[in-house]
Amino acid sequence: MLNQREQVLLKALVEAHIREGMPVGSKMLARESGLDLSAATVRNVMADLEQMGFLNSPHTSAGRIPTAKGYRYFVDSLNRMELLPQGMADDLRQRFGTLGLAPKAVADAVSQVLAEMTQMVGLVTIPKENFALIHRIELMPLSENRILAVLVYEDDEVQNRIIKVERPELMEELRQTSSRLNEYLCGKSLLAAREFLIETLAQTRAVMSDHMEMVIDIAQVLFADSNDYDGLSVQGQSNLMAFDELSHLQKLKALFDAFTEQGDLLHLLDQCVQAPGVKIYIGEESGYQVLDDCTMITAPYVVQNRVLGVLGVIGPSRMEYRRIIPMVDATARLLGDALNYSS
């Protein structure tokens, strides 16, 4: 816990750095904080905050900038969100009300809106038709204790997985295993299937038979690399060039490659729907090295009481959290309302 003086100075420093994009010195911070403190006292507090990991000194004798830990504390404890302006909310309702139901067109339009509103990168997952409902699962034995798992969707899309079985004696039970998987998972989306495995079956692993453990192991491998999306719509990549901390050529190239390849981003976005509400990944919190100097803010959008997709923005960690978090949250809710009304 930070004391009140440390909190006031950390808040003032983060806000000044967001606004100016430069390291903040003790004289500027003493002025920005509104506290009746000398520059020397402010320097001592800044040194304490740096030692605790909230600040960093980019250069010797320069001012300080927030670390990912400093931004996290600011977002969780010190940041007061702004309300989305009524005019902007009305504009979003009007724009989303004209959208059709073609998934890619919807995703492209909304990611463009997010990029325009935030002046960062807008992201929207492109949902599969019919919410990727599972029609049936088939398991077939191969050589060397391997299984071919065939996943068939209701729209007749087919995906195959080869799974290694550690207990060869259970290969004979494939028909029963296939029957159990179909019983549990058919008619569910991939997301619902994963949630079922995590929340229901995994909880009882301690009392499972060998056969049921095999069912769980196969199901987890089967859905490990699957997602409910046909891809990701990305708009506004060039906006990142306006931020000095992201303008290094190699850094931009890595980010643009990630936007193009999409696999890791989709995996990260897939994790954002495990619980409702806005998710914020600051710096290395994402576990994705290319985003170490960035923040990603996401929110799921819901249609017919089911999470249809995820939207969000990526920008520098030096972003206006109080303004952008409500934008992402409101965009997800208004998009869900519009799609529910259209459907």
Task: Report the alpha-carbon distance of residue 153 to residue 141 in Å, rounded.
Answer: 21
Nearest Cα neighbor of 326 from 120, 73, 82, 71 is 82
Q: What is the pLDDT of residues 238-276, one digit of tens each?
A: 999 999 889 889 999 999 999 998 888 988 888 887 767
Task: Report the alpha-carbon distance of residue 290 to residue 314 in Å, rounded.
Answer: 11
Q: What is the pLDDT of residues 61-119, one digit of tens each?
A: 678 999 999 999 999 999 889 888 899 999 998 888 877 767 788 889 999 999 999 99
Cα–Cα distances in angstroms (integers) from residue 164 to residues 139, 144, 145, 146, 159, in the given order: 12, 8, 6, 5, 17
> Strands 306-316 and 121-127: what pairing?
antiparallel
The answer, yes or no, to whether residue 9 has pLDDT greater than 60, is yes
**Other beta carbons within 10 Å of 19:** 12
Coil, helix or strand for 206?
Answer: helix
Mind spelling out the 3-state secondary structure of 60-101? CCCCEEECHHHHHHHHHHHCCCCCCCHHHHHHHHHHHHCCCC
What's the number of CA atoms in the CB half-sphere (13 Å) around residue 231?
12
Residue 317 banded pLDDT, cuts 50, 70, 90: very high
Strand partners of residue 137: 151
Cα–Cα distances in angstroms (integers) from residue 314 to residues 32, 51, 70, 328, in the given order: 28, 29, 18, 11
> Strands 294-303 and 279-282: what pairing?
antiparallel
Strand order in the sheet with 279-282: 229-235, 121-127, 306-316, 294-303, 279-282
The average pLDDT across 1-27 equals 94
The encoded tokens of residue 142 equal: 């191969």
Task: Report the alpha-carbon distance of residue 147 to residue 161 in Å, rounded.
Answer: 8
Question: What is the phi/psi pair of residue 314, to 5°?
Answer: -125, 130
Task: Report the alpha-carbon distance of residue 135 to residue 70 in Å, rounded.
Answer: 47
Cα–Cα distances in angstroms (integers) from residue 77 to residues 74, 137, 282, in the given order: 6, 47, 15
The answer, yes or no, to whether residue 38 has pLDDT greater than 80, is yes
Residues 6+ apart with CB under 8 A from 184: 196, 201, 215, 219
The average pLDDT across 147-176 equals 75
Residue 304: the pLDDT is 75
Task: Report the alpha-carbon distance of residue 245 to residue 238 in Å, rounded.
Answer: 14
The answer, yes or no, to whether residue 339 has pLDDT greater than 50, is yes
- Apex CA 278: angle with CA 272 and CA 283, to 5°? 70
Question: By mean pLDDT, which of 21-30, 105-114, 210-219, 308-317 is the weakest?
Answer: 210-219
Burial of 143 per CB tally in 10 Å (0-12, 13-18, 19+): exposed
- CA 334 from chain centre, in angstroms, equals 19
Task: Report the alpha-carbon distance of residue 115 to residue 319 in Å, rounded.
Answer: 13
Q: Name the E strands within the chain.
A: 55-56, 65-66, 121-127, 134-141, 146-153, 158-164, 229-235, 279-282, 294-303, 306-316
